[in-house]
Copies of this chain bind each other. A is one copy, B any other.
């Protein structure tokens, strides 16, 4: 038996080891902290770590009674998410050193179940497209994606097994794809957005980055004190859903979706190719305007009192929001409602659909974070999505595919993603590639 450092364990494996008494929270947290110490100077995933506080909490977990399903497990939180004990800057110089009065709901719930806050991880500016300093652990010259850049990089680099992220367009799914890990955007509301800095409240969704589908499911439902099992009873009915957006997907990404579909079919799933309905296609054009209209409101204080500290990219986006009248906004919301109905109709016969998670591999350069477009429709419709690595691209970097399901069908979508992961086998896993 080769001795792995505890940080290599997934969340579920570590939780079981802690419960069985074969692993202490302190040893696990120490192992994570060692990795952060060794690597974060290059990676810049974390924005705040209080090592002593994390170790104290871990020792308290080891010494105290079992508090819940997440007992002793370290986790990280995107710096868009309020924490009372660690500074929360929302990726903006405006909030440098800001200490919120209260923990966000997700952080408080994790603590209630015994989890240990390891630190805060970087977000792009207010979860928009101006990136922070985080690098992709698989290739330090490339973007980890955004806006949940730190969450994805930290998890992919084995600094922590799970991290909270948020998605307003493609901010969980894309970094998961770029970093070769799992991203889970639940049905909006399963994990509360309370205490998360708002960008586009009709879309802002809290989710998780993890290395395994089962870990993301375990942590998301474990927050509520509930254990879950990911099982498919009947053969999966999967739609390979094409749309005009696919024109933006690289050839390798299209192949990755196909590869995943065929692997599922070989494993017994029933596949069908389906073209996205026009009422759904139209949302691709509206969604950025909905974000802009809502962001111009949500960031009104910053826009009015600290305009000089906003990036030019964000300022331009807020100015675009000012071009949209409230009547136009309401009409767009009506179009989204029609799309919601159409989705329920078009996908009633399927357990989930397969879709690209990003245009392609992580791009070279750190001044942009790639397009979030492949997340837009599913986010505005509040649908559960799970991204997992399905193949490698021309540069040997991971390509993620997303499994998308009906509203509230999270467990089915997670089970379908887990089935796809198994069907694809270990070849799609990029962990071996990362610079250790």
Q: Which A residues contact B (CB, under 8 angstroms)?
A: 84, 95, 98, 101-106, 108-109, 111-112, 187-195, 198, 201-202, 220-221, 224-226, 294, 297-305, 322, 325-327, 329-331, 333-334, 337, 340-341, 344, 406-411
The number of times this chain is found in the oligomer is 2
How many Å from the CB of A80 to the closest CB on chain B? 13
Q: Which residue of B lies closest to A407 (CB)?
A: B337
Given A192-B297, A298-B192, is A101 in contact with B98 using a C-beta cutoff of 8 Å?
yes
Partner of A337, one of B102, B198, B329, B344: B344
Q: Is the CB of B298 within 8 A of A105?
A: yes
Q: Which residue of B lies closest to A100 (CB)?
A: B101
Given A187-B333, A326-B226, A333-B407, is A112 in contact with B300 using a C-beta cutoff of 8 Å?
yes
A95 / chain B contacts, CB cutoff of 8 Å: 101
- 17 additional A-B residue pairs with CB within 8 Å, beyond A192-B300, A334-B407: A84-B301, A95-B101, A105-B300, A105-B301, A108-B303, A108-B304, A111-B304, A189-B201, A189-B202, A189-B294, A193-B198, A195-B198, A195-B298, A225-B322, A337-B340, A337-B344, A337-B407
Q: Is the CB of B410 within 8 A of A330?
A: yes
A411 CA to B198 CA in the complex, in Å?
26
How many Å from the CB of A86 to the closest CB on chain B? 14
Q: Give me the 4 closest cross-chain CB pairs, A-B, nearest first.
A: A108-B300, A192-B297, A194-B198, A330-B408
Q: Which residue of B lies closest to A332 (CB)?
A: B408
A83 CA to B194 CA in the complex, in Å?
17
Q: Which of A98, A194, A330, A331 has the most CB of B within 10 A?
A: A194
A337 CA to B111 CA in the complex, in Å?
32
A102 / chain B contacts, CB cutoff of 8 Å: 301-302, 305
A127 CA to B108 CA in the complex, in Å?
20
A201 / chain B contacts, CB cutoff of 8 Å: 189, 192-194, 201
A240 CA to B406 CA in the complex, in Å?
33
How many Å from the CB of A309 to the closest CB on chain B? 13
Sample (17) of A-B pairs whose CB atoms are under 8 Å apart: A105-B297, A108-B300, A112-B300, A189-B201, A193-B198, A193-B201, A194-B198, A194-B201, A194-B298, A194-B299, A195-B301, A221-B326, A225-B322, A330-B408, A334-B408, A337-B408, A340-B340
A141 CA to B207 CA in the complex, in Å?
47
A301 / chain B contacts, CB cutoff of 8 Å: 84, 102-105, 108, 195
A106 / chain B contacts, CB cutoff of 8 Å: 297
Q: Which residue of B lies closest to A406 (CB)?
A: B334
Q: Which residue of B lies closest to A302 (CB)?
A: B102
